[in-house]
Each structure stands twice: as structure tokens, then as C-alpha cells.
Structure 1
Amino acid sequence: MDLTEILETYGEQVARQWAERLHDEVSNGYASRPFDELLATTSQASEANFAAIAHGDFSKIDAFIVKVCKLRLEGGFSLSEVQKAFEMYRTILVPILLKELKDEDLLDALLSLNSCLSRTIFAFSDYFLNMANARLIEKQKKLDEDLKAAAGIQQCLLPQKEEKRPKVENLEIEWKFTPSETIGGDIFNVIHLDGDHLGFYMIDVSGHGVPPALVTFSISQTLQPQMGYTVRKKPGFSPDYEIVPPGEVLQALDTEYPWERFEKFLTVIYLIVDVRHGRLIYSNAAHPPPILLHVDGTFELLEKGGTIIGLGGILPFEEEEKAISAGDKILLYTDGVFEFSDSKGELFGEKRFHALVKSLHGLRIGAILDGIVQGIENFAQGEKLQDDVSLLGIEFKKRDQDG
């Protein structure tokens, strides 16, 4: 079957499963709605998605957004509940596509699905927020709750808490995140590419609040391995997948997120660590360069790459490979860790930040991050941070002799 036939064949099944999961998994708001109402809504949404994915016709989705935004906003639903409900469509349809399609047909279908949902979720969010802003005076308390819920979603996109984090042999991973507003434009995470390789990314979108947070949400979904940007399927080969090099990943993001779409500066660092063989490869899209801190206290800046994302490939995204040894550490960060001032207006700056990192080199990575945060707080002396502060640290442990 081709994509159109799949959507037609499985349409009713997807709509029913979607309604059941909305009722059971999303929130009390959905659980309290009659199932027949939810089924009618998901059936209409499925038809709208079919027109968009199969024929590029978003008119039914636009009409659906107007109807559902009014229904859910007046029903007291939060933006985060509606976003989660719509994103659930992807989790239902992807396994069907994986079962029915292969090779380029599968990749094209996944790209069409992702493009549809990215556009829809952004349009949905914009419309929802415009309606909420129109009622700002009488709905201020509710809007604050929505922002807190959105911050909760953003927190879910960060690496897992330690007690839930999968154990990775030879690596210790720690992170810190402090948004300057309730929600912000920074995001980072760890991607399990296969048994030997991990991907690490950090993204900084200019601005604060909901718009940049929505951009980071979209990109974090795009970088998930099943989306085909970081891991590419190769049916018939052994192994039947290929890890996409960092330069190609950034090039794909450059195409997917053009400047004209958001009119925001977007920087990204993406690196892949080969845990078994002790190597890393990275590419940097105008992001503050990560620090490779060696056990003797010397450090290198990982600067190879290209321009900010969205400029249409005016320069290639160069890559660089590095060998890593036991005791080495990598520190990823955004410019919020040094672009802030104290009460006298003195800038913390990169030079002071690098000196602080060097002074902490003998500590474990978690203690290093704690020391950086303490150094920032000591310098700021209670002043409000002007930007998000994001830190992601990686420490390389002694590898097995046979590794």
C-alpha cells in the first residue's frame, strides 16, 4: 500500500485508538468527556490530517483548529493538554507506517507526517494563545497556569532524572537548567542512537516565553531517532540503520527551520559519542563552543561547524573528530552562563567563565556544574538573570580493557 491507501485503510482504527488514549492517558479533562464526543473529534482530526499528509491540503486542519480551540478553551483545558493530545496522533500512526512501508516510501511518509504535525501544532498553539490573550484581564490566573504547564512540558524534554536515567557504561551525565522566565528558548537532551553511540544536543532560540519554547519543542521532536534525522533506516543491510553524521543533521535542520519561518536566531551544537571506542564527532551551528576539559586541566573549545540554523546553507557545517580518554569531561552550555551582569553592570564574560571551569577541573562532573552555578550566583549577587542558563556535562570513565 502507498501512504494514501494506508491512511484510508487505518483511518477508523487510528481515530478510535486515539479517542481511547485521550480518554485514558492525557488528563482528567479528557477523561471526563463522553467517549462519543472524543471519537467524533478524533475522526474529524484524522480526516483533516489525511488531507494535509496525502494531498498537502491544510484547509480542513485550519477549520478543525478554529472549532477545537474554542471548544477546549471554553472547557477550561490548558494548552499543554491540547498539545499532548494532538502529538499522540504521531505515536499511533508511526508503528503502522513502519509496518506497511519501507525504504524511501517510509522516509517520505515520516517526513510528511512530521511536517504536518509541526505546522499543525504551531498553528494550534498560535490560535489558542491568541484567544487566551484576548481574555487576558479576566483569564490572567489561568494563563499563568498554562505557562507553568508549558514549563513542565519543557522540563520533560530535558534528560531524564537520575533515578529514571538509563545507566550508560563509561559515562556520567549531569545537567542544570534555569530559565530566566517561566519557560525559555533553551533545550538540550541525550539521544540513544544505538548500543555504542549517544547523541548530545543543545539548542538556543533567541527570546523568552512561549514562542521560542514552541520552536525548541518542535526541534526536540525532529531530533528523535524515529524521525529519520539522526538515525536513518537502511532496510536489507546489516545493521539496518545508519547514524547520521552531525554535519548532515545540522544541514537538515537548516533546511527544515529557515529564518523566514520564525525570524529568530537559532544555534545548535550536536555531537555523537562512541562510548565503546572513546571517540566523539561534532558540528557546531554558531553555538557557544563546548569545552573539552582534559584530566590535566587543559581544555579545547569545540568550534568546528558553520552559521546559525536557517540561513539556507550559505556555508557547509564542518565536522571534527576527537579522541577521548578516561577522566576527560565535556561541558555544553548556552551563552546565558556568561552573558549577564552584576549590580554594577560588570559583565561576567567568557574569560571569567573559562577560568572558573579550569579551577574546577579536578572535581566530578556533577560537582563542576554545581561549582559553576555557585560562581554565577556569587557574581550576580541576587540580580535577575537576563537569559536562560543551561549546562550539560559529560565525564568519561575508565573503559573496559576489551572495549
Structure 2
Amino acid sequence: MDRSEGFGEGLLGQLLDRARGMPPQLVAPLVAEAARAVGGQEVSILLPDYGQVTLVPLPGRGLVVGAPVPIGGSPAGEAFLGTTTVECPQAAGIRMFVPLPDGDHGGVLAVTLADVNDEDRRLLRRLAALVADILTAKNGYTDQFARARRQAPMSLAAEIQWSLLPPLAMSTPQVSVAGILEPAYDIAGDSLDYALDDDILHLAMIDAMGHGLNAAVLATVAIGAYRHARRATVGLAELYAYMDAAIDQQFGPDHFVTAQMMRLNIATGTLEWVNAGHPAPLLIRGHHVLQALDSPGTLPVGFGGDTPQISRRHLRRGDRVLFYTDGLVEEHRAGGELFGEQRLIATVERVGPRGGSVREMVRSLSDALMQERGGATTDDASLFLVEWHGDAVGQPDATTEVHRGGRPQPDRHKG
């Protein structure tokens, strides 16, 4: 067996070996050096700002640092949202925009080559994947990347909430997720969490009462209690009870959190969830909202509600489920009517055909909703989109099932 080191393996191996012991500020020179080794020039690492409006160049020796690049309508933004490499011919050669997959925040590696062949493309994809892993590893003990992404002053409440959040995008062969929180630099009560354990995707979306720092602290306890119970592998009903007790014991009877807790079996497409005073998620199929996934609910977390009933739905391949907080539908101008669920559904169906990946759709939807609401955000407004890619051959296309004595819920919105 030939165990000799080829050029590509040697290049990536050296980057990995050297980066392991390097401080964060020396990551940029290492990446620039690796890109130059394949003939690359004008190397940039572009990271999304917290609002997912622009891609911001990471500063560092050897990297090109210019003005932030708009995500909408730019080749770099296309690569970021679509998670595919974009090539742009230029006078100096071909400008390559290679997405940084997953990681803490994603981003784009930009580099110019005189000409490009398939070997170059493969090596750059692997280089970008390694750069994403290095940034994720270093991000845990530096503020450098967070400062680069920050394009506006951030409130203390938002600082706390961002420190809680998992990566807002993840993709595997069977499932993809993407989220966005508004206003990014002043969020308080909205938060979300997810984890993929074997065949089960766990997800919680919460909205803590109030605004500002008090809401952020309440959300922190709620998410902490959710993670603690989830990692103890309890059922959904028991998970609600644990979160409820934690909020009540810490804050008393006058504080609450609305919540939606979900589990998706990514092998079968079986979705189960409980609703604690939260807006019903929307089931999207073929760019149409098939229905709102209404279900018997219980009281918000902290109010000591009855044991929640668990609802179930079998998804089809390609189905998307959109979770959102009430700040989206309850927004209104002074004296005007609420934005409402029907306008949300109409916006989803208008934007859906333009969206490719879940990340692209959730950002396009957020932009469209902001325009529809006249740019108003008097409350947190968050979106989280889940797409199941797996094959559900033989799975029934049932209406929502409710367990523990509940009745099936009919479709409310037909596509």
C-alpha cells in the first residue's frame, strides 16, 4: 500500500499540524500561505455579521481586508446561502467563493486563481472545510471572530442570548436546519436550541416574557433546563415538567416562557412535539403551506400546566417545518391591525420558490417579513426552519395525530 503523502494531503496536513498550536491571530497568515501554495491570490475569509446582512472580512496578516460584502445579490453571498462554490471570471483570473461548511457561523473563503481545474476545486473545498474547523476550534477562546462579525452596538441582553445559541445552520444528508433572530443586536427573550443524537433531532424554540435583561436571564434558565433534561434522555412530557419546575422555582408564579419542543426521527420522518403556549409551526410542502401544525397545548412553562399531549406527524421527503415566535405575527403599527398568521403564510408561499437551501430561504423570508412589517421590530421575531431529506417510503401521509387522549387535528391550510 502506497502511504506516500501527495501534494494535497501534505498541504492540508501541514495547515492542520501548525494550526493546532497556533494562537487565533496566526490563523489568517496560515490560511493565506496555504492558499498561495495552490496559486491563490487575494485571499479573504468572510464571516456573516450577526444580522446575516453582510459578509465581513476577517482581519489578519496575509488576508485582503476590504468593506463588508452584502449577502443579498453578491457572488460571496450566493456561495454562503447556497453552500456551493461560485466562480467569477475576472481580468486577473477566476475569483473563487468557497463556502465554509457549518461551523459556529459559516462563511466564505475567497481566493483568485489564474485558472481552475477540478483538482483545484476539490482542494479548495477541502481547504475551506479545514479552515471552518480551525475557526470553530479557536472561536472558543478568542473574541477576535466575534468582534469581526459585530457591525453594530450590541445590548447586554443580546450578548447573553448569542452566547447561548448553537450554530444557526446545520446540514446532514437526512436533515438541514437554519435560523435567524431579529433584531440581532438587541434580542432578549427569544432563543432556540437543537441537538442531533443518532437518528433523533431535538429542537426547542422559546420566547421568554418581557424585554431586556430580565427576559434574557429567564431565557437562559429555560434553555439550561431544557438541555439538562434533554441530556437525561427523558420524554417530551417529562422535559416540559422539568423546565416548568425550574422556571417556577427560580422566578415564582409571575414569570413564564412559551415554548415548542420537538423531536424528529431523521430515519423515518416521524415528528413529535409538545406546545406550551407557543404559535403552531407551519408545515411547508412544495413551496406551499400545507397546514399549521395545531395541537392541544398546555400552559406556558412556569405556570404549572397539565401534562402536555404529544402530537405526531409523518413527514414526506422534502417537507419543511417553520417554527417562529409571536413577534412575527403580533407586530403592528400604532392603531393598526396585527400582521397575523395569514399574511405570514402568504409571505412564505411567495418567498418559497425563490429559496434554495434552508439557510437561503430563512434569510429571504426574514427580509421579506421585515419589509412587509414596514421595518418594525418592537418585539423579538425569530425563525427556525427544518427540512427532512430522508426517504419516507411506506410512511402514511396522515393528518396530525395526538396521543394521550387527544383527537386528530384536521388540516387548516391547504396548498
- Where does residue 212 of structure 1 map in the other structure? 215
Letter in 2 for 1:277: T
- Cα deviation for residue 294 of structure 1 reads 2.1
Per-residue deviation at 1:273?
0.8
Measure, in 2, the Cα distance between the counterparts of 1:366 and 1:197.
21
Displacement, 1:335? 0.6
1:261 equivalent in alignment to 2:252: yes
By percentage of residues, which structure has more strand? 2
Deviations 1:2-23 (A, max 9, x none): xxxxxxxxxxxxxxxxxxxxxx
- Write 1 or 2 for the structure with the bigger share of helix: 1
CA contact (8 A) 2:316 2:392 kept: no
Aligned partner of 2:369 among 373, 376, 391: 376
Conservation of the 8 A alpha-carbon contact between 2:321 and 2:385? yes
Q: Which amino acid aligns with 2:164?
A: L
Looking at structure 2, the residues matched to 296 and 182 of structure 1 have their Cα atoms a distance apart, in angstroms, of 31
- Counterpart for residue 189 of structure 2: 185
Task: Give the drift of 1:358.
Answer: 2.8
Equivalent position SS for 1:223: helix
**1:146 Cα deviation (Å)?**
11
TM-score (normalizing by structure 1)? 0.54
SS in 1 for 2:321: strand
Among candidates 247, 255, 266, match of residue 275 of structure 1: 266
Report the 3-state secondary structure (helix = DSSP H, G, I; strand = E; otherwise coil) of the residue aligned with 1:254.
Answer: helix
CA contact under 8 A between 1:330 and 1:393: conserved in structure 2? yes
Measure how far apart 1:298 and its partner are.
4.2
- Correspondences of 1:304-383 after superposition (within 5 Å): 304=295, 305-313=297-305, 315-342=306-333, 345-362=336-353, 363-364=355-356, 365-382=358-375
Distance 1:385 1:296 in 2: 26
- CA distance, structure 2, for counterparts of residue 297 and residue 146 of structure 1: 38
Select the residue among 131, 150, 154 that pairs with 2:161: 154
Which one-letter code corresponds to 2:360 in the other structure? A
Structure-2 change in CA distance of 1:311 and 1:149 (3 Å): closer
Are 1:176 and 2:183 matched, yes or no?
A: no
1:119-134 residue pairs with structure 2 within 5 A? none
How many Å separate the matches in 2 of 1:329 and 1:230? 23
Distance 1:275 1:324, change over 3 A: same
Q: Cα RMSD between the aligned structures?
A: 3.0
Q: What is aligned with 2:200?
A: 197
Partner Cα distance (2:314, 2:329) in 1: 28
In structure 2, relative to structure 1, the CA distance for the partners of 1:204 and 1:296 (3 Å cut) is closer
Gaps of 5+ in 1: 1-144, 233-242
How far apart, in 2, do the equivalents of 1:327 and 1:178 lie?
27
Q: CA deviation at 1:353?
A: 0.9
Matched pairs, number: 241
Q: Deviations over 1:218-269 (max 9, x none)?
A: 1212222xx3x1243xxxxxxxxxx422222112222222286262331000
Q: Distance in 1 between matches of 2:315 and 2:161?
A: 31
Alignment check: 8 A CA contact 1:247 1:282 kept: no
Deviation of 1:331 after TM superposition, in Å, equals 0.4
| AA of the residue aligned to 1:230 | R
Residues 343, 380 of structure 1: 8 Å contact kept: no
C-alpha distance in 2, partners of 1:161/1:266? 21
Once residues 288 and 187 of structure 2 are traced to their aligned partners in structure 1, the CA distance between those partners, rounded to angstroms, is: 35
**In 2, Cα distance between equivalents of 1:398 and 1:308:** 32
**2: CA distance between counterparts of 1:273 and 1:195?**
11
Deviation for aligned residue 1:338: 1.5
1:213 and 1:262 mapped to 2: Cα distance? 18
Cα 1:299–1:159, aligned 2, differ >3 Å: closer, same or farther?
Answer: farther
C-alpha contact (below 8 Å) 1:181/1:208 kept by paired residues: no
Match of 1:291 among 282, 287, 290: 282
Which aligned pairs between 1:34-73 and structure 2 lie closer than 5 A? none
SS at match of 2:343: helix
Distance 1:254 1:343, change over 3 A: closer
For the 8 Å contact 1:268–1:284, the answer to whether it is kept is yes
Q: Residues 271 and 161 of structure 1: is their aligned pair in 2 closer, same or farther, counting only changes over 3 Å?
A: closer
Offset at residue 152 of structure 1 (A): 2.7
- CA spacing shift, 1:149–1:277, aligned 2, 3 Å: same
Q: Return the alpha-carbon distance in structure 1 between the equivalents of residues 184 and 166 of structure 2.
A: 19
Distance 1:298 1:333, change over 3 A: closer
Q: Which runs of 5+ in 2 are unaligned?
A: 1-151, 396-415
1:230 counterpart = 2:244: no
Report the CA distance shift for 1:183/1:371 in structure 2 as closer, same or farther (over 3 A): closer
Helix, strand or coil at the partner of 1:369: helix
* SS of corresponding position for 1:318: coil
Change (3 A) 1:369 1:179: same
Q: 2:386 aligns with which of 391, 394, 399?
A: 394
Kept in 2, the 8 Å contact 1:329–1:395? The answer is yes
Find the partner of 1:246 among 216, 230, 236. Answer: 236
Mapped contact 1:343–1:381 kept (Cα < 8 A): no
* CA distance in structure 1 between the aligned counterparts of 2:254 and 2:392, rounded to whole angstroms: 48
Equivalent-residue separation in structure 1 for 2:386 and 2:334 (angstroms) = 33
Separation (CA, whole Å) in 1 of partners of 2:210 and 2:288: 34
2:105 equivalent in structure 1 = none
